[in-house]
């Protein structure tokens, strides 16, 4: 009983000292994807078998076109690339939620003809976009991370990574550079 009171006393002391400070106003990121509007040359590499120990990458080249929707609070991106491993056509739908001040990203591959069903959520800070979600790969639950970085008017970099250990480690499996 004495240990329980000691633990409770420490908890109460800690919470009395660690008074939460008022949070800074959240960044209104509804125009954070404006940099991407228009046409891009796409060069990407995809890890052939993610989370399997594979080190075989396949390369693709093609185009990406991103269109503004709802005055920038949404956008629609079309990706079309070709490489030795074949042809990929994809559609990205991004929607901004003004209540949470976050974006959600949805993907559809033309070969499947449906939205992926595992949206990503996140936003931009200091010129870097990070988005996270849950998905499955070969029947097992994984985390997914998207990163947009090195953003300039003429180019940007994108990476996708998977984690099978709850986000402790990440394996990049999709790298892309987009240029005007």
* Average pLDDT for 147-162: 98
Average pLDDT of 44-62?
97
Instruction: Write down the pLDDT at residue 28.
Output: 85
- What CA–CA distance (Å, rounded) separates 14 from 6? 12
Secondary structure (3-state) at 103: strand
Q: What is the pLDDT of residue 82?
A: 98
Which pair of tokens denotes residue 69?
A: 């929707």
Instruction: Give me the domains of the chain, ranges plus CATH numbers.
Output: 2-179 (2.40.128.20)
In tens, the pLDDT along 131-149 reads 999 999 999 999 999 999 9
Q: How confident is the model at residue 14 (pLDDT cuts 50, 70, 90)?
A: very low
- Does the pLDDT value for residue 13 go beyond 90? no
The predicted pLDDT at position 23 comes to 54
Q: Is 95 exposed, middle or buried (0-12, 13-18, 19+ CB in 10 A)?
A: middle
- Residue that has been written with the tokens 């004495």 in this structure: 2
Question: How confident is the prediction for the chain on average, in pLDDT?
Answer: 88
pTM > 0.95: yes or no: no
Confidence of residue 174 (pLDDT cuts 50, 70, 90): very high
Rounded Cα distance between 123 and 135, Å, is: 19
């Amino acid at each position: 009983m004495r240990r329980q009171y000691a633990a409770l006393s420490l908890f109460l002391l800690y919470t009395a000292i660690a008074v939460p400070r008022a949070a800074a106003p959240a960044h209104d990121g509804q125009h954070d994807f404006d940099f991407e509007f228009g046409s891009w040359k796409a060069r990407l590499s995809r890890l052939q078998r993610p989370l399997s120990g594979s080190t075989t990458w396949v390369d693709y080249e093609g185009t990406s076109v991103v269109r503004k929707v709802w005055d920038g609070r949404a956008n629609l991106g079309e990706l079309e690339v070709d490489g030795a491993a074949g042809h990929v056509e994809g559609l990205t739908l991004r929607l901004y939620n003004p209540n949470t001040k976050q974006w959600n990203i949805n993907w559809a591959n033309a070969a499947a003809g449906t939205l992926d069903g595992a949206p990503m959520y996140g936003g931009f800070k200091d010129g870097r976009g990070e988005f996270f979600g849950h998905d499955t790969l070969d029947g097992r639950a994984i985390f997914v991370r998207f990163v947009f970085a090195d953003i300039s008017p003429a180019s940007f970099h994108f990476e996708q990574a998977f984690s099978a250990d709850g986000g402790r480690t990440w394996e990049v499996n999709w790298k892309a550079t987009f240029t005007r």
